[in-house]
Chain A
């Protein structure tokens, strides 16, 4: 069976600044029409790897490919296929939204009707048509992000690289952004989108990669990662007497970990299904512990993220 050619591929990518390994042996692939969420705390190396993909920087070792073209050997071909939305972008004074987009359309070599069509499409898609005459300096953060997204897709690239597009947006703008990204993917575009908040992207990503200190710690669908890193369920129990003894008793068991005591409350992770949970409760009662409450839930995405990353924030 021939595997489809990935639209984005990082192959053993390294980027070293002095003694900082900003990107440290990262490899992954994204297939056409997929949204890949690139998640990691600040300083993890997201921007650095995205800049390499956008041909703005060169890897120290390794290579990256967009639609099969190497960013090192054929940067111009990569550029034609790729739209890049950096995390912060400068604009020009005395230029309004329409002129800004028009300028980039020209810069990408679009002429005549083709350019008008592209402008109309992008302004419609991003909802900027009402803002066409507004100077960029006066736009809200959400509108600026839309403009920047519009700029990065003006030449109809098949791959979009969005660096923290949701940062600093209000909840409504964030939802609208998610809808736009999903729409782009539905239209066949491959999207690589980064964030330092997993939950922000979880529902729109086909795949995510968790990166920290330049290393890719996990890749896969959100469900896969949740399963892989959180086979445990979180249990909360209220015990009315001898709390320390209960904690002691629990921590001696193999299926229990991370026992934390908080007054009468006990929190711990339990490995096993719901039946085994019930059996555990029975055992606790039989051991004469006064259990007043017993509840369990799956670990949240944030729990997973905290579990995977070690919390080195720079």
Chain B
């Protein structure tokens, strides 16, 4: 592909050229046309770099060296395989992710990113192109070591399935680490911060790589503990892989959003991914409940889900609701579409409602599953009676805390410009203070020992204590306090809802004359018949 660049030629000329190779070359080039340009560039660059040449040579050298050494000394099969694993793990778990991180960070430091950002490429293509190049490098390393891996098949005493599973998860880990690296590269443009981030990132890579290699891989190889004949093994692996997949997707979308121009819509795609997370999460929650029939599982999953929506809610309530005119031209118009899709628009208000609704759905599914399960005689654990109340109040607390945080953030936004860090800190502070203040007041007057009987209206804002009480005793003993909590949260929600209306009421802007002319030039076919909105977003290009 590289060779004929210098002398660009016509396809006709190329067709005339005979021979398998030139035809191959042509096909490759044709395929290359449709590839992500970043992928093409990065791969060319990466495969030509010194770093790659050295790593590749070392990998081959170590792989073959280990084979000779291992067989000569008569090492056990698992030991030989474990040696190969290390030869592969260092490039895969450290070098590839770190160079993915560096390639994006350097792009932002050197100012080449700016030139890229005004081409036809969008930030998503840039991030996925870099990730694609990382994958390509991983594959090259794998294939370089594949003879050695094939060799292990001949050795008695290791299960080839275990080896393949380990290789697969090493790949998944490498991919996740690369995605995280790309995300880390988008966090800041300043060189000093970038240095700090690279140190932290490198340490994290080494730590995760070490834990995986030293703790898990070695045990998996030695004890052969995985039962591949059990279908549940595969289901569990599917669950793990879907979790990684969802995480990688989110990381990539978030990285792309970080480097998108502020005037673009950065929120909608992230929210769609959150919805996907929610779907996967609820699916696995129900699957394992049906399978294992333990009510505790529902509770644990509900709590993790609540943590997820609290965190994403904290981030979303930190957004500004500035919609650029371009985004406003493609807002949903019909009543139904607006009711359903307005919550995907950028902005703190819509983000708040989005998080609260999703959390509600998640908790409700848990409660319904638990109730159905209980009537079918499944174990719900000791908290069975209070599960519904617990979920309801968990929901109300999170809605209230996020709501208060959002109001504070909206007030601060009038005076200050800030990103997403301060909103998250504000939310964390609120959540901590919510527990600390009542505790301190209580301790001041009655001493620092807390019993259930000490629960009172003072602890209405103390979500930890209240939820603990509900878990143990339900709500009936303290109807007044819980009534106050309920009314308070509903009030906060309603206030926020009405504040959100400003974000929600954004209406579609008319498309300017000049833009319509341009559209007519680019997409004449769209103007043959009156245009109907096809999707609620109806992007115009």
Is A73 touching B326 in the complex (CB atoms < 8 A)?
A: yes
Residues of A within 8 A of B262 (CB): 58
Is A95 touching B45 in the complex (CB atoms < 8 A)?
A: yes
Residues of A within 8 A of B49 (CB): 93-94
What's the nearest-Cβ distance from chain B to residue A6, in Å? 13
Is B518 touching A107 in the complex (CB atoms < 8 A)?
A: no
A111 to B518, CA, bound (A): 22
Residues of A within 8 A of B324 (CB): 72-73
The stretch of B113-121, B136-144, B472-480 that contacts the partner chain: B113-121
Chain A contact patch, size range: 35 or more
The yes or no answer to A282 lying at the interface (CB within 8 A) is no
Is A99 touching B44 in the complex (CB atoms < 8 A)?
A: yes
The yes or no answer to B531 lying at the interface (CB within 8 A) is no
Q: Which residues of A83-119 are within 8 A (CB) of B?
A: 84, 86, 88-95, 98-99, 102-104, 106-109, 111-113, 115-117, 119
With both beta carbons as reference points, the residue of chain A lying nearest to B49 in the complex is identified as A94
Is B45 touching A93 in the complex (CB atoms < 8 A)?
A: yes
The yes or no answer to A190 lying at the interface (CB within 8 A) is no
A73 to B327, CA, bound (A): 9
Is A104 touching B119 in the complex (CB atoms < 8 A)?
A: yes
Residues of B within 8 A of A113 (CB): 10-11
Given A107-B116, A113-B11, A74-B326 contact (CB < 8 Å): yes
Is B514 touching A68 in the complex (CB atoms < 8 A)?
A: yes
What's the nearest-Cβ distance from chain B to residue A136, in Å? 11
Q: Which residues of B311-340 are within 8 A (CB) of A?
A: 324-326
The yes or no answer to A175 lying at the interface (CB within 8 A) is no
Which of A74, A86, A99 is the one whose CB lies under 8 Å from B115?
Answer: A86
Is A91 touching B518 in the complex (CB atoms < 8 A)?
A: no
With both beta carbons as reference points, the residue of chain A lying nearest to B44 in the complex is identified as A99
The yes or no answer to A55 lying at the interface (CB within 8 A) is yes
The yes or no answer to A36 lying at the interface (CB within 8 A) is no
Is B263 touching A72 in the complex (CB atoms < 8 A)?
A: yes
Residues of A within 8 A of B117 (CB): 56
Is A58 touching B5 in the complex (CB atoms < 8 A)?
A: no
Residues of B within 8 A of A94 (CB): 44-45, 48-49
Q: Which residues of B13-51 are within 8 A (CB) of A?
A: 30, 33-34, 37-38, 40-41, 44-45, 48-49
Is B2 touching A99 in the complex (CB atoms < 8 A)?
A: yes
With both beta carbons as reference points, the residue of chain A lying nearest to B2 in the complex is identified as A99
A93 to B42, CA, bound (A): 11
A111 to B37, CA, bound (A): 10
Residues of A within 8 A of B11 (CB): 112-113
Is B119 touching A69 in the complex (CB atoms < 8 A)?
A: no
The yes or no answer to A46 lying at the interface (CB within 8 A) is no
The yes or no answer to B196 lying at the interface (CB within 8 A) is no
Given A79-B119, A112-B33, A120-B515 contact (CB < 8 Å): no
Is B8 touching A75 in the complex (CB atoms < 8 A)?
A: no
What's the nearest-Cβ distance from chain A to residue B50, in Å? 8
Residues of A within 8 A of B514 (CB): 68-69
Given A68-B514, A92-B45, A113-B11, A56-B114 contact (CB < 8 Å): yes
Which of B5, B33, B111, B325 is the one whose CB lies under 8 Å from A73?
Answer: B325
A156 to B262, CA, bound (A): 27
Residues of A within 8 A of B71 (CB): none
Q: How many inter-chain contacts with C-beta < 8 Å in the A-B complex?
A: 105
Is A80 touching B120 in the complex (CB atoms < 8 A)?
A: yes
Which of A58, A90, A102 is the one whose CB lies under 8 Å from B111?
Answer: A90
The yes or no answer to A54 lying at the interface (CB within 8 A) is yes
A69 to B326, CA, bound (A): 12
A218 to B5, CA, bound (A): 46
The yes or no answer to A303 lying at the interface (CB within 8 A) is no
The yes or no answer to B225 lying at the interface (CB within 8 A) is no
Given A74-B515, A76-B541, A116-B9, A107-B111 contact (CB < 8 Å): no
The yes or no answer to B159 lying at the interface (CB within 8 A) is no
How does the 8 Å CB contact mask read for A124-146 relative to B, with 1 for contact and 0 for none?
A: 00000000110000000000000
The yes or no answer to B535 lying at the interface (CB within 8 A) is no
With both beta carbons as reference points, the residue of chain B lying nearest to A71 in the complex is identified as B263
Residues of A within 8 A of B515 (CB): 69, 74, 77
Residues of A within 8 A of B512 (CB): 73-74
The yes or no answer to B261 lying at the interface (CB within 8 A) is yes
Chain B contact patch, size range: 35 or more
A175 to B298, CA, bound (A): 76
Is B114 touching A98 in the complex (CB atoms < 8 A)?
A: no
The yes or no answer to B505 lying at the interface (CB within 8 A) is no
Is A116 touching B41 in the complex (CB atoms < 8 A)?
A: no
Residues of B within 8 A of A75 (CB): 261, 263, 326
Is B6 touching A151 in the complex (CB atoms < 8 A)?
A: no
Residues of A within 8 A of B120 (CB): 79-80, 107-109, 155
Residues of B within 8 A of A155 (CB): 119-120
What's the nearest-Cβ distance from chain B to residue A64, in Å? 14
The yes or no answer to B232 lying at the interface (CB within 8 A) is no
Is A84 touching B6 in the complex (CB atoms < 8 A)?
A: no
A104 to B112, CA, bound (A): 11
A90 to B49, CA, bound (A): 17
Residues of A within 8 A of B261 (CB): 55, 75
With both beta carbons as reference points, the residue of chain A lying nearest to B111 in the complex is identified as A90
What's the nearest-Cβ distance from chain B to residue A165, in Å? 15
Residues of B within 8 A of A117 (CB): 8
What's the nearest-Cβ distance from chain A to residue B227, in Å? 47
Is A151 touching B45 in the complex (CB atoms < 8 A)?
A: no
What's the nearest-Cβ distance from chain A to residue B384, in Å? 56
A258 to B117, CA, bound (A): 52
A133 to B48, CA, bound (A): 14
The yes or no answer to B110 lying at the interface (CB within 8 A) is yes
What's the nearest-Cβ distance from chain A to residue B475, in Å? 52
Interface centre among A72, A92, A113, A155 (most CB of B within 10 A): A92
Is B115 touching A103 in the complex (CB atoms < 8 A)?
A: no
Residues of B within 8 A of A132 (CB): 5-6
Q: Which residues of A256-310 are within 8 A (CB) of B?
A: none
A30 to B116, CA, bound (A): 26
A201 to B541, CA, bound (A): 39
Is B8 touching A120 in the complex (CB atoms < 8 A)?
A: yes
Residues of B within 8 A of A90 (CB): 110-112
Is A103 touching B41 in the complex (CB atoms < 8 A)?
A: yes
How does the 8 Å CB contact mask read for A153-170 relative to B, with 1 for contact and 0 for none?
A: 001000000000000000
Is A86 touching B111 in the complex (CB atoms < 8 A)?
A: yes
Which of A80, A88, A95 is the one whose CB lies under 8 Å from B41?
Answer: A95
Residues of B within 8 A of A103 (CB): 37, 40-41
Which of B2, B9, B30, B118 is the one whose CB lies under 8 Å from A56?
Answer: B118
Extra contacts, 10 of them, besides A117-B8, A119-B5 (Cβ < 8 A), are A54-B118, A56-B118, A72-B325, A86-B111, A89-B115, A91-B112, A95-B41, A99-B44, A103-B40, A120-B8
| 28 pairs, CB–CB < 8 Å, chain A vs chain B | A54-B118, A55-B261, A56-B118, A58-B263, A72-B263, A72-B325, A74-B515, A77-B515, A79-B119, A84-B118, A86-B114, A89-B115, A90-B111, A92-B112, A94-B49, A98-B5, A99-B41, A99-B44, A106-B37, A107-B37, A107-B120, A111-B33, A112-B33, A116-B9, A117-B8, A119-B5, A151-B115, A155-B120
Interface residues of A, Cβ cutoff 8 Å to B:
54-56, 58, 68-69, 72-77, 79-80, 82, 84, 86, 88-95, 98-99, 102-104, 106-109, 111-113, 115-117, 119-120, 132-133, 151, 155
